[in-house]
Chains A and B, each alone.
Chain A
């Protein structure tokens, strides 16, 4: 598509994932022919001619080093610095679980402390490009803070729809950025449905995970790009990601596939596995029980950010997992809590229950023989434990105060050694 200055763009427009119908790039998420979801349609020949490892490596230390693979024109990014986070070689956790080459991409260190900064930076940049007058989202908390923060940076009002029951820490954080918060008496799916209706009535607002969703999900591909780059432009053998809507897992796989297609990595023949909390596991149950994804209404889990009963990309996530030879796990809340402390204790990374779900899922998959000890395995830890303190405090032993004397310390130390 011409941009008016004879500069060819790497983005042709949008196309339907189901029937292939094509549309120009706009605020649109649904195919008018078959109601299927839209995805970004790239000009891969153009991209191939303009991309190289060297160009990427000279780029900024953020997702925008991969701008040639993101659906944005120009360089006026709404950028708080999301991405290009450390890929930890998790030797301690690997040893504990019996994995010889385990890596963790730590997303808890993003600007608002979850992977949602990646997708939001892309979506809000795109919203500005489209001339949107406001941005919004439906969120279980992490996306809310990401959208409110990027909207603040962009100088746009934001409308955030959340289930009223999410963690207070997340409400505290998102409130600081000054969004309009609509707390819905219901589940995430209720908040999402309401937000969808509101978004549909305001075509000049960009709801990041609703009306500009085709662009938004592209931001998650950068998790694959920077993993491969930090592995010396190689793909892992296996990756494990959390499952909420299923969009993240699909986008990561798509990211590896694109790198292989462009010749930046040798192959994207990767096993893909997912983890979803047992109390809300429509996708992982579909994988484990070999059935279609059936939306669920009642969900009970401490992993609020994964509590999506009607996962928008569940159908595709199940397919990606099964086609790759991967599998899925459904840990219990107790296993999730144990995994949070296991990760913190072994690798010094403090994650929220969604990250605990992924680590607990990893443990189950290893125990079930679904991950071979010699597979180079990458795990995506997507959010920060500081956001879920009200959940974790119940599982934390608060130390008793001692008098500030050496004698008291020695008494305490003797007890600590005994433990």
Chain B
């Protein structure tokens, strides 16, 4: 099961801070396809702009920023943890 943790900024659309998905081996895009259908258009709008992850949204797979990996094509295996956080901290 892939575990997904949400920023509290998404509370109003997810209603939960964490969810698990049974997707087998997939990609970050596969995970978001599932999340978009689970939480609807409002969730998708918050995360994506013109098909890309918004500039101020950071997505991590096991703590690694997907921008340093293969972006939405980054591989996700069944035991991975994904975090979605705002990119407004640090420094």
Instruction: Give the docked Cα–Cα distance between A200 and B60 (Å).
Output: 15
CA distance A33 to B87 in the complex (A): 14
B12 partner residues in chain A, CB cutoff 8 A: 32
Q: Is A82 an interface residue (CB 8 A)?
A: no
Q: Which residues of B contact A35 (CB under 8 A)?
A: 9, 46-47, 54, 56-57, 86-87
What's the tally of chain B residues with a CB closer than 8 Å to chain A?
26
Specify which chain B residues have a CB less than 8 angstroms from the CB of A308 in the assembled complex.
Answer: 90-91
Does chain B have a CB within 8 A of A197? Answer: yes
A interface, size bucket? 35 or more
Q: Given the complex, which residues of B lie within 8 Å of A313, measured CB to CB? A: 91
Q: How far is the CA of A213 from the CA of B83 in the complex (A)?
A: 20
Contact (A209, B90) CB under 8 Å given A32-B12, A197-B5: yes
Nearest A residue to B89, CB-CB: A210
Q: Which of B17, B47, B63, B89 contacts A312 (CB 8 A)?
A: B89
Inter-chain CA distance A37–B60, complex, in Å, is 19
User: Is A244 a contact partner of B91 (Cβ separation < 8 A)?
Assistant: yes
Contact yes or no, B65 A213, CB < 8 A? no
Residue of B nearest to A37 (CB): B88
Task: Tell me the B15-52 residues at the A interface (CB within 8 Å).
Answer: 17, 46-47
- Chain A residues with CB below 8 A from B5, complex form: 197
A158 within 8 A of B: no
> Which B residues touch A311, using CB under 8 A?
90-91
A229 beta carbon closer than 8 Å to chain B: no
| A279 is an interface residue with CB less than 8 A from chain B | no
Which of B53-91 touch A at CB < 8 Å? Answer: 54-58, 60, 63, 65, 67-68, 83, 85-91
Cβ-closest chain B residue relative to A33:
B46
Extra pairs beyond A194-B63, A197-B85 (11, CB < 8 Å): A30-B9, A138-B90, A193-B58, A193-B60, A200-B8, A210-B90, A213-B88, A245-B91, A294-B67, A310-B58, A310-B87
Which residue numbers of A lie inside 8 Å of B, CB to CB? 18, 29-38, 138, 188-190, 192-197, 199-201, 203, 207, 209-210, 213, 244-248, 294-295, 297, 308, 310-313, 315
A-B contact pairs, 5 of them (CB 8 A): A30-B7, A35-B54, A188-B90, A195-B89, A295-B67
The 9 lowest CB-CB distance pairs between A and B, nearest first, are A245-B91, A210-B89, A30-B86, A37-B88, A192-B90, A30-B9, A297-B68, A35-B56, A244-B91
